[in-house]
Structure 1
Amino acid sequence: MGKLDGFAKLTFAEDTPRVTGGSAAWHRPPEVRLERVQADGYLRVLRPEGLVPLARLWPAACDHDEVLVEIKRAGDHVGIGEI
Structure 2
Amino acid sequence: MARLTASEWVARENNCSESEAENMLEDDPDLEYEYYLRYCLQELNLSPDEIIRGFGADMTEAQERFIEDFKGEDELELEQ
Decide: shared fold, TM above 0.5.
no
Question: With structure 1 as the length reference, what TM-score do the two structures score?
Answer: 0.28
Q: Would you tell me which structure has more helix in proportion to its own residues?
A: 2
Q: Which has the higher strand share?
A: 1
| Higher Rg of the two aligned structures | 1
